[in-house]
């Protein structure tokens, strides 16, 4: 048993955990541990390296505001650049000294006597810390579909989130299950290599054209030497994504015609990209834009024009040792099965580790027995000195960095107050939490989640009760403002 006493334990070494560590450093905390079960930092950008991985939010927006990267190769940078960016940030802000990699956190318990968190690692070691920050992300538990016979398949199974770079797809007869954001990026790349590729689509996804371009070396140098130039571009990509999400999702009640225009653009995109009428029809989403994560691609739809690429939409009956049998009886013989089947957001996640607060309150159980809720998407009553970055109502806009930087601001205001009062603990009050939940629930009444036709979307943004509590249904701008101004009386500080 370790007796090491830390200021904070941060679980997760992705951009959320790194941002929290940078913020704690700025506030003067230096005894930190950033724990991650993976063998390197970068979170999702370390774990995911499937072919075709790119960021699908403009890179100018998909980065920390305080750490611009002038050297993105394109507007939508490949995943490997995001991983390099994570390494650069870790080096520049000297975060590696806090890292404990290949280490799994089993759970954490608040000790009311010592006013500390006791964090248990797999293997039995424990750490104690004044603060606990869960930065485990929403998309960290890869989901394997429960399809009859999947265990009997004798070929190779690859999950997109556990890609084996040494496995060549050249000449393979492969099938892909899943047409979410991952499938849309992966399928065109696989189709370049395979001799035959069958795509099993259950729910069509919205695919919009991607306005992408490279940054010439001269432009990168200009961004480096005159950062204001990149700031100007960032402002426009920030405002564009903020506005798009606001109009298509949170203020859907007032902007339904805009949603219709989006539908026309997507239909035109299918029309010019897909030659076969029936395939085009099969790729058409039957739910409102914004119910589910939409994607951007100029290559996905065109892939279905290849004679060796097949789209199956009848559903999967079973998997046999040498192939996949559809509900319409069609069997595709394959040697490689690719799972682009996403992540378990609601069962083994939220929270990703067991967290026991004051009076034995179990966070996961409490969220499931009550509603999913967290004040400002960060703190929960009866969980003192605890911040959960991937909480209900935390997700602001489309770029994860917007969420992270909002949370850093919140930490700044909260911890500065704690320090100025010479206090040791904070805990959000039940009233403030209830008020915030009511406000978010009311705001959702104007959203596409409530007013759109989302029933057929099978969107992981909804939980089993039909609620969609992951996002904060406000503009990024208002979320940012609130983190600098929330009433400090919303916390009991002692
Ligand atoms: P996803 O959006 O959850 O998509 C999973 C896909 O697998 C869906 O098409 C789903 O069909 C299908 N599927 C799951 N189980 C199935 C089953 N039993 N039978 C048939 N089909 C099944 O997962 P994802 O594509 O990995 O994306 C997850 C999130 O990661 C995205 O929303 C995005 O936030 C993020 N992401 C970001 C980037 C980026 O920025 N570059 C790239 C990739 C992913 P149904 O729709 O019918 O359930």
Cα 259–260–266 angle (5° rounding)? 90
Whether residue 4 is predicted with pLDDT greater than 80 in this model: the reply is no
The answer to whether residues 436 and 301 belong to one domain is: no
Rounded CA separation 171/119 (Å) = 48
Helix extents (H) in 300-445? 300-303, 363-369, 400-420, 430-444
Rounded CA separation 247/6 (Å) = 44
8 A C-beta contact, residue 55 and residue 77: yes
Report CA-CA distances (Å) from 65 to 212, 218, 246, 271. Answer: 21, 22, 20, 38
Residues whose CB is less than 8 angstroms from the CB of residue 71 and which lie 6 or more positions away in sequence, other chains included:
220, 223, 224
pLDDT in tens, 414-435: 999 999 999 999 999 999 999 9
257-279: average pLDDT? 96
The answer to whether residues 355 and 300 belong to one domain is: no
Helix extents (H) in 27-177? 44-47, 79-92
- At what angle are helices 227-245 and 476-485 packed, to 10 degrees? 100
8 A C-beta contact, residue 329 and residue 307: no
Which atom, in ligand 1's list, is nearest to the CA of 54? 41
Rounded CA separation 77/61 (Å) = 11
Q: Tell me if 232 is assigned to some domain.
A: no
29-37: average pLDDT? 98
Copy the structure tokens of residue 94.
């000297």
Whether residue 1 is predicted with pLDDT greater than 80 in this model: the reply is no
The answer to whether residues 296 and 164 belong to one domain is: yes
8 A C-beta contact, residue 194 and residue 332: no
pTM of the shown model = 0.97
Q: Which of 33, 39, 41 is nearest to 8 (CA)?
A: 33
Q: Which residue's CA lies nearest to atom 17 of ligand 1? A: 145
391-416: average pLDDT? 97
Q: Tell me if 361 is assigned to some domain.
A: yes
84-104: average pLDDT? 98
Distance 178 CA to ligand 1 centre (A): 6
The answer to whether residues 191 and 333 belong to one domain is: yes
406-412: average pLDDT? 98
Q: Which of 439, 437, 463, 479 is nearest to 364 (CA)?
A: 463
Copy the structure tokens of residue 455.
């029933």
Distance 384 CA to ligand 1 centre (A): 35
8 A C-beta contact, residue 103 and residue 351: no
Rounded CA separation 151/153 (Å) = 6
The answer to whether residues 321 and 437 belong to one domain is: no
Confidence of residue 3 (pLDDT cuts 50, 70, 90): low
Copy the structure tokens of residue 358.
């004051």
The answer to whether residues 455 and 366 belong to one domain is: yes
The answer to whether residues 319 and 297 belong to one domain is: yes
Rounded CA separation 407/413 (Å) = 10
Distance 119 CA to ligand 1 centre (A): 32
pLDDT in tens, 206-250: 999 999 999 999 999 999 999 999 999 999 999 999 999 999 999
Q: Tell me if 321 is assigned to some domain.
A: yes
Distance 493 CA to ligand 1 centre (A): 41
Q: Does residue 181's CB lie within 6 angstroms of at least one atom of ligand 1?
A: yes
pLDDT in tens, 125-139: 999 999 999 999 999
Secondary structure class of 298 (helix, strand, coil): coil
Q: Detail the DSSP E strand segments found in 114-182.
A: 116-121, 126-134, 156-159, 173-177
Q: Does residue 56's CB lie within 6 angstroms of at least one atom of ligand 1?
A: yes
pLDDT of residue 390: 95
The answer to whether residues 379 and 283 belong to one domain is: no
Q: Tell me if 260 is assigned to some domain.
A: yes
8 A C-beta contact, residue 453 and residue 285: no
Confidence of residue 124 (pLDDT cuts 50, 70, 90): very high
From 273, 304, 339, give the residue that closes a domain.
Answer: 339
Whether residue 34 is predicted with pLDDT greater than 80 in this model: the reply is yes
Q: Tell me if 238 is assigned to some domain.
A: no
pLDDT in tens, 143-192: 999 999 999 999 999 999 999 999 999 999 999 999 999 999 999 999 99
Q: Which of 321, 244, 229, 312 is nearest to 278 (CA)?
A: 312
* Averaged pLDDT score across all residues of the chain: 97
User: What number of other Cβ atoms are within 10 A of residue 286's Cβ?
Assistant: 10
Q: Which residue's CA lies nearest to atom 33 of ligand 1? A: 181
The DSSP string of 418-445 is HHHTT---EEE-HHHHHHHHHHHHHHHT
Phi, psi (degrees; rounded to nearest 5) at 139: -115, 70
8 A C-beta contact, residue 92 and residue 15: no
Rounded CA separation 397/70 (Å) = 23
Distance 200 CA to ligand 1 centre (A): 12
Rounded CA separation 340/185 (Å) = 10
From 324, 339, 354, give the residue that closes a domain.
Answer: 339
Q: In terms of C-beta density within 10 A (0-12 exposed, 13-18 middle, 19 or more buried), how is residue 144 classed?
A: middle
pLDDT of residue 170: 98
pLDDT in tens, 323-346: 999 999 999 999 999 999 999 999
Distance 225 CA to ligand 1 centre (A): 39
Confidence of residue 269 (pLDDT cuts 50, 70, 90): very high
Pair type for strands 331-333 and 323-326: antiparallel
Copy the structure tokens of residue 366.
């409490």
Which atom, in ligand 1's list, is nearest to the CA of 179? 9
Rounded CA separation 10/136 (Å) = 9
The answer to whether residues 125 and 169 belong to one domain is: no
The answer to whether residues 299 and 163 belong to one domain is: yes
Positive or negative, the CA dihedral 451, 297, 180, 83 is: negative
73-92: average pLDDT? 98
From 339, 373, 407, give the residue that closes a domain.
Answer: 339
Phi, psi (degrees; rounded to nearest 5) at 473: -80, 55
Total of domains in the chain: 2
Q: Does residue 54's CB lie within 6 angstroms of at least one atom of ligand 1?
A: yes
Report CA-CA distances (Å) from 243 to 165, 198, 209, 235. Answer: 38, 37, 18, 12
With a pLDDT cut of 70, the percent of the chain lying above it is 99
Q: Does residue 340's CB lie within 6 angstroms of at least one atom of ligand 1?
A: yes
Q: Tell me if 120 is assigned to some domain.
A: yes
8 A C-beta contact, residue 350 and residue 374: no
Strand order in the sheet with 323-326: 316-320, 323-326, 331-333
CATH code of the domain covering residue 266: 3.50.50.60
Q: Tell me if 68 is assigned to some domain.
A: yes
Residues whose CB is less than 8 angstroms from the CB of residue 483 and which lie 6 or more positions away in sequence, other chains included:
376, 406, 407, 409, 410, 413
Q: Does residue 52's CB lie within 6 angstroms of at least one atom of ligand 1?
A: no
The answer to whether residues 177 and 126 belong to one domain is: no
Structural domain harbouring 307: 150-206+253-287+292-339
Rounded CA separation 379/347 (Å) = 20
The answer to whether residues 306 and 355 belong to one domain is: no
Q: Tell me if 178 is assigned to some domain.
A: yes
């Amino acid at each position: 048993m370790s007796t090491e006493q830390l200021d904070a334990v941060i679980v997760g070494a992705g951009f959320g955990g790194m941002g929290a560590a940078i913020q704690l450093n700025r506030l003067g905390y230096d005894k930190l541990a950033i724990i991650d079960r993976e063998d390197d930092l970068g979170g999702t950008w370390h774990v995911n390296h499937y072919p075709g991985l790119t960021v699908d939010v403009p890179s100018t927006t998909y980065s920390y505001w305080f750490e611009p990267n002038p050297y993105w190769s394109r507007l939508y940078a490949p995943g490997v650049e995001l991983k390099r960016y994570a390494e650069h940030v870790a080096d520049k802000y000297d975060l590696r000294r806090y890292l404990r990699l290949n280490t799994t956190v089993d759970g954490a318990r608040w000790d009311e006597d010592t006013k500390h968190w006791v964090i248990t690692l797999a293997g039995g070691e424990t750490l104690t810390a004044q603060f606990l920050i869960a930065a485990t992300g929403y998309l960290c538990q890869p989901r394997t579909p429960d399809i009859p016979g999947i265990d009997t398949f004798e070929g190779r199974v690859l999950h997109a989130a556990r890609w084996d770079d040494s496995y060549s797809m050249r000449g393979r007869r492969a099938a892909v299950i899943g047409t979410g954001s991952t499938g849309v990026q992966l399928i065109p790349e696989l189709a370049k290599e395979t001799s035959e590729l069958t795509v099993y689509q259950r729910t069509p996804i919205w695919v919009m054209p991607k306005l992408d371009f490279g940054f010439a070396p001269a432009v990168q140098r200009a961004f480096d030497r005159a950062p204001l130039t990149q700031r100007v571009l960032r402002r426009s990509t920030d405002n564009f994504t903020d506005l798009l999400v606001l109009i298509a999702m949170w203020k859907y009640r007032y902007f339904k015609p805009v949603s219709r225009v989006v539908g026309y653009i997507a239909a035109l995109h299918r029309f010019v990209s897909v030659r076969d009428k029936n395939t085009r029809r099969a790729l058409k989403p039957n739910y409102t834009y914004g119910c589910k994560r939409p994607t951007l691609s100029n290559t996905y739809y065109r892939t279905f024009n290849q004679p060796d690429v097949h789209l199956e939409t009848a559903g999967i009956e079973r998997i046999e040792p040498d192939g996949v049998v559809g509900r319409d009886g069609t069997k595709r013989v394959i040697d490689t099965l690719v799972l682009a089947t996403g992540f378990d957001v609601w069962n083994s996640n939220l929270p990703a580790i067991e967290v026991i607060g004051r009076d034995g309150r179990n966070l996961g159980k409490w969220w499931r027995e009550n509603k999913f809720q967290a004040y400002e998407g960060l703190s929960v009553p009866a969980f003192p000195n605890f911040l959960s970055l991937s909480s209900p109502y935390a997700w602001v806009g489309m770029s994860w960095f917007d969420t992270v930087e909002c949370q850093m601001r919140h930490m700044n205001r909260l911890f500065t107050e704690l320090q100025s009062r010479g206090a040791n603990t904070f805990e959000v009050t039940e009233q403030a939490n209830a008020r915030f939940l009511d406000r978010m629930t009311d705001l959702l009444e104007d959203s596409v989640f409530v007013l759109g036709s989302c029933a057929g979307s099978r969107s992981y943004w909804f939980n089993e009760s039909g609620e969609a509590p992951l996002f904060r249904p406000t503009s990024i701008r208002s979320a940012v403002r609130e983190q600098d101004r929330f009433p400090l009386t919303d916390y009991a500080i002692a």
